[in-house]
Amino acid sequence: MFKTTLSTALLLLTSIGALAEDIRYISDKQYVPLRSGQGTEFRIVHRGLASGLRLVIGEVNEESGYTQVTTPNGTQGWIRSQYLMKEAPARQQLEVLLEREKTLSQDKDSLRQRYIELEESQLQLQQELAGSREHLEETSTELAEIRRVSGNALALDDSNRQLLKESQILKSRIEILESDNLRLQDSSESDAFFNGALSVLLGVIITLLVPRLWPQRRSSSGWA
Protein backbone atom coordinates (compact mmCIF):
# COMPACT_ATOMS: atom_id res chain seq x y z
CA MET A 1 0.00 0.00 0.00
CA PHE A 2 2.83 2.37 0.97
CA LYS A 3 4.84 1.45 -2.12
CA THR A 4 1.87 2.14 -4.35
CA THR A 5 1.33 5.55 -2.81
CA LEU A 6 5.02 6.38 -3.14
CA SER A 7 5.07 5.34 -6.78
CA THR A 8 2.06 7.46 -7.49
CA ALA A 9 3.63 10.47 -5.80
CA LEU A 10 6.87 10.03 -7.75
CA LEU A 11 4.90 9.76 -10.99
CA LEU A 12 3.02 12.96 -10.20
CA LEU A 13 6.26 14.79 -9.40
CA THR A 14 7.79 13.58 -12.64
CA SER A 15 4.72 14.74 -14.59
CA ILE A 16 4.78 18.14 -12.92
CA GLY A 17 8.46 18.48 -13.73
CA ALA A 18 7.80 17.56 -17.34
CA LEU A 19 5.06 20.13 -17.56
CA ALA A 20 7.35 22.78 -16.12
CA GLU A 21 10.03 22.15 -18.78
CA ASP A 22 10.43 24.49 -21.83
CA ILE A 23 9.42 22.27 -24.74
CA ARG A 24 10.45 22.90 -28.43
CA TYR A 25 9.85 21.10 -31.72
CA ILE A 26 12.16 20.61 -34.66
CA SER A 27 11.09 22.56 -37.73
CA ASP A 28 10.24 20.48 -40.78
CA LYS A 29 11.72 23.14 -43.02
CA GLN A 30 15.02 22.10 -44.57
CA TYR A 31 17.29 23.11 -47.43
CA VAL A 32 18.55 20.58 -50.01
CA PRO A 33 21.58 21.24 -52.23
CA LEU A 34 21.22 21.02 -56.01
CA ARG A 35 24.30 19.50 -57.74
CA SER A 36 25.56 19.48 -61.27
CA GLY A 37 25.76 15.67 -61.39
CA GLN A 38 24.54 12.47 -59.80
CA GLY A 39 26.65 12.35 -56.68
CA THR A 40 28.12 14.31 -53.79
CA GLU A 41 31.38 14.74 -55.67
CA PHE A 42 29.73 17.09 -58.18
CA ARG A 43 29.66 20.81 -57.50
CA ILE A 44 26.65 22.48 -55.92
CA VAL A 45 24.75 24.75 -58.33
CA HIS A 46 22.20 25.81 -55.70
CA ARG A 47 22.89 25.56 -51.97
CA GLY A 48 19.42 25.77 -50.54
CA LEU A 49 16.26 24.38 -52.15
CA ALA A 50 13.64 24.93 -49.47
CA SER A 51 11.20 22.21 -48.61
CA GLY A 52 7.95 22.59 -50.47
CA LEU A 53 9.59 24.14 -53.54
CA ARG A 54 7.84 23.18 -56.76
CA LEU A 55 10.22 21.42 -59.21
CA VAL A 56 9.83 20.13 -62.74
CA ILE A 57 11.07 16.53 -63.05
CA GLY A 58 13.40 15.61 -65.92
CA GLU A 59 15.40 12.37 -65.87
CA VAL A 60 15.10 9.85 -63.01
CA ASN A 61 18.00 7.43 -62.29
CA GLU A 62 16.88 4.63 -60.03
CA GLU A 63 20.41 3.16 -59.70
CA SER A 64 22.13 6.36 -58.46
CA GLY A 65 19.08 7.54 -56.55
CA TYR A 66 19.22 10.99 -58.17
CA THR A 67 16.64 12.90 -60.20
CA GLN A 68 17.22 15.75 -62.62
CA VAL A 69 15.01 18.77 -61.79
CA THR A 70 14.44 22.35 -62.94
CA THR A 71 13.71 25.11 -60.43
CA PRO A 72 11.06 27.84 -61.01
CA ASN A 73 13.84 30.28 -62.04
CA GLY A 74 15.18 27.84 -64.65
CA THR A 75 18.17 26.37 -62.77
CA GLN A 76 18.80 22.71 -63.63
CA GLY A 77 20.63 20.11 -61.57
CA TRP A 78 20.47 16.80 -59.75
CA ILE A 79 18.92 16.11 -56.37
CA ARG A 80 18.58 12.95 -54.31
CA SER A 81 15.26 11.29 -55.11
CA GLN A 82 14.56 10.68 -51.41
CA TYR A 83 13.93 14.42 -50.94
CA LEU A 84 11.19 14.43 -53.57
CA MET A 85 7.54 13.58 -53.02
CA LYS A 86 4.40 13.92 -55.12
CA GLU A 87 2.46 15.87 -52.53
CA ALA A 88 3.36 19.16 -50.91
CA PRO A 89 4.83 18.98 -47.37
CA ALA A 90 2.51 19.02 -44.39
CA ARG A 91 3.70 22.47 -43.40
CA GLN A 92 2.92 23.86 -46.82
CA GLN A 93 -0.43 22.09 -46.88
CA LEU A 94 -1.12 23.55 -43.45
CA GLU A 95 -0.25 27.01 -44.71
CA VAL A 96 -2.55 26.49 -47.65
CA LEU A 97 -5.29 25.29 -45.33
CA LEU A 98 -4.73 28.22 -42.99
CA GLU A 99 -4.85 30.61 -45.93
CA ARG A 100 -8.00 28.91 -47.17
CA GLU A 101 -9.47 29.13 -43.68
CA LYS A 102 -8.58 32.81 -43.58
CA THR A 103 -10.24 33.29 -46.94
CA LEU A 104 -13.27 31.32 -45.78
CA SER A 105 -13.40 33.42 -42.61
CA GLN A 106 -13.30 36.58 -44.70
CA ASP A 107 -15.97 35.13 -46.96
CA LYS A 108 -17.98 34.26 -43.85
CA ASP A 109 -17.68 37.81 -42.57
CA SER A 110 -18.59 39.10 -46.00
CA LEU A 111 -21.57 36.76 -46.14
CA ARG A 112 -22.63 37.80 -42.65
CA GLN A 113 -22.44 41.45 -43.68
CA ARG A 114 -24.32 40.62 -46.85
CA TYR A 115 -26.93 38.80 -44.78
CA ILE A 116 -27.33 41.85 -42.54
CA GLU A 117 -27.69 44.05 -45.62
CA LEU A 118 -30.25 41.66 -47.07
CA GLU A 119 -32.20 41.71 -43.79
CA GLU A 120 -32.18 45.51 -43.85
CA SER A 121 -33.24 45.46 -47.51
CA GLN A 122 -35.99 42.97 -46.69
CA LEU A 123 -37.22 45.18 -43.84
CA GLN A 124 -37.18 48.20 -46.13
CA LEU A 125 -39.03 46.24 -48.82
CA GLN A 126 -41.61 45.13 -46.27
CA GLN A 127 -42.13 48.74 -45.23
CA GLU A 128 -42.40 49.81 -48.86
CA LEU A 129 -44.82 46.94 -49.48
CA ALA A 130 -46.95 48.01 -46.53
CA GLY A 131 -46.93 51.59 -47.86
CA SER A 132 -47.81 50.34 -51.34
CA ARG A 133 -50.70 48.31 -49.95
CA GLU A 134 -51.97 51.33 -48.03
CA HIS A 135 -51.64 53.49 -51.14
CA LEU A 136 -53.42 50.78 -53.14
CA GLU A 137 -56.29 50.76 -50.66
CA GLU A 138 -56.54 54.55 -50.84
CA THR A 139 -56.42 54.41 -54.63
CA SER A 140 -59.10 51.71 -54.68
CA THR A 141 -61.30 53.84 -52.41
CA GLU A 142 -60.78 56.87 -54.64
CA LEU A 143 -61.51 54.77 -57.72
CA ALA A 144 -64.72 53.47 -56.16
CA GLU A 145 -65.72 57.05 -55.33
CA ILE A 146 -64.91 58.15 -58.87
CA ARG A 147 -66.98 55.29 -60.24
CA ARG A 148 -69.86 56.24 -57.95
CA VAL A 149 -69.63 59.89 -58.97
CA SER A 150 -69.31 58.88 -62.60
CA GLY A 151 -72.39 56.69 -62.25
CA ASN A 152 -74.27 59.59 -60.70
CA ALA A 153 -73.01 61.87 -63.45
CA LEU A 154 -74.24 59.44 -66.09
CA ALA A 155 -77.58 59.21 -64.33
CA LEU A 156 -77.75 63.01 -64.14
CA ASP A 157 -76.82 63.23 -67.80
CA ASP A 158 -79.65 60.85 -68.67
CA SER A 159 -82.01 62.87 -66.47
CA ASN A 160 -80.88 66.10 -68.12
CA ARG A 161 -81.46 64.61 -71.53
CA GLN A 162 -84.91 63.41 -70.50
CA LEU A 163 -85.74 66.83 -69.03
CA LEU A 164 -84.46 68.54 -72.16
CA LYS A 165 -86.64 66.28 -74.27
CA GLU A 166 -89.67 66.98 -72.09
CA SER A 167 -88.84 70.70 -72.17
CA GLN A 168 -88.80 70.64 -75.95
CA ILE A 169 -92.14 68.82 -75.96
CA LEU A 170 -93.62 71.39 -73.54
CA LYS A 171 -92.19 74.22 -75.63
CA SER A 172 -93.85 72.75 -78.72
CA ARG A 173 -97.11 72.47 -76.82
CA ILE A 174 -96.81 76.06 -75.62
CA GLU A 175 -96.23 77.21 -79.19
CA ILE A 176 -99.32 75.27 -80.30
CA LEU A 177 -101.36 76.75 -77.45
CA GLU A 178 -100.15 80.26 -78.27
CA SER A 179 -101.10 79.70 -81.90
CA ASP A 180 -104.53 78.42 -80.84
CA ASN A 181 -104.90 81.39 -78.51
CA LEU A 182 -104.09 83.83 -81.30
CA ARG A 183 -106.54 82.10 -83.54
CA LEU A 184 -109.23 82.23 -80.88
CA GLN A 185 -108.41 85.86 -80.21
CA ASP A 186 -108.79 86.66 -83.93
CA SER A 187 -112.03 84.68 -83.95
CA SER A 188 -113.31 86.61 -80.91
CA GLU A 189 -112.46 89.91 -82.50
CA SER A 190 -114.25 88.85 -85.71
CA ASP A 191 -117.30 87.79 -83.72
CA ALA A 192 -117.32 91.11 -81.85
CA PHE A 193 -117.05 93.03 -85.09
CA PHE A 194 -119.81 90.98 -86.64
CA ASN A 195 -122.00 91.45 -83.59
CA GLY A 196 -121.40 95.20 -83.63
CA ALA A 197 -122.18 95.45 -87.28
CA LEU A 198 -125.27 93.36 -86.76
CA SER A 199 -126.40 95.64 -83.94
CA VAL A 200 -125.91 98.72 -86.08
CA LEU A 201 -127.84 97.11 -88.90
CA LEU A 202 -130.68 96.17 -86.61
CA GLY A 203 -130.77 99.76 -85.27
CA VAL A 204 -131.05 101.13 -88.78
CA ILE A 205 -133.79 98.68 -89.69
CA ILE A 206 -135.71 99.48 -86.55
CA THR A 207 -135.34 103.20 -87.18
CA LEU A 208 -136.71 102.85 -90.69
CA LEU A 209 -139.51 100.40 -90.04
CA VAL A 210 -140.97 101.50 -86.73
CA PRO A 211 -142.33 104.88 -87.94
CA ARG A 212 -144.12 103.20 -90.80
CA LEU A 213 -145.66 100.58 -88.67
CA TRP A 214 -146.93 103.11 -86.15
CA PRO A 215 -150.50 104.61 -87.24
CA GLN A 216 -150.49 108.30 -88.18
CA ARG A 217 -152.90 110.75 -86.51
CA ARG A 218 -155.45 112.55 -88.77
CA SER A 219 -155.61 116.35 -88.82
CA SER A 220 -158.93 117.85 -87.32
CA SER A 221 -158.66 121.20 -89.11
CA GLY A 222 -159.76 119.82 -92.45
CA TRP A 223 -163.08 118.41 -91.20
CA ALA A 224 -164.27 121.36 -89.24
* pLDDT (tens digit per residue) in 178-195: 787 777 777 666 666 667
Could you tell me the domains of the chain? 31-86 (2.30.30.40)
CA–centroid distance for 175 within its chain: 67
Kindly give the pairing relationship between strand 66-70 and strand 31-35.
unpaired
Instruction: Report the alpha-carbon distance of residue 209 to residue 130 in Å, rounded.
Output: 115
pLDDT of 90 higher than 90:
no
- Reported as a single tens digit per residue, the pLDDT across 54-89 is 888 888 999 999 999 998 888 899 988 888 887 766
The H or E element spanning position 43 is none
The torsion angle over the Cα atoms of residues 82, 87, 92 and 94, rounded to 10 degrees, is -130
> Would the pTM of this model clear 0.85, i.e. be above it?
no
**Percent over 90 (pLDDT), the chain:** 5
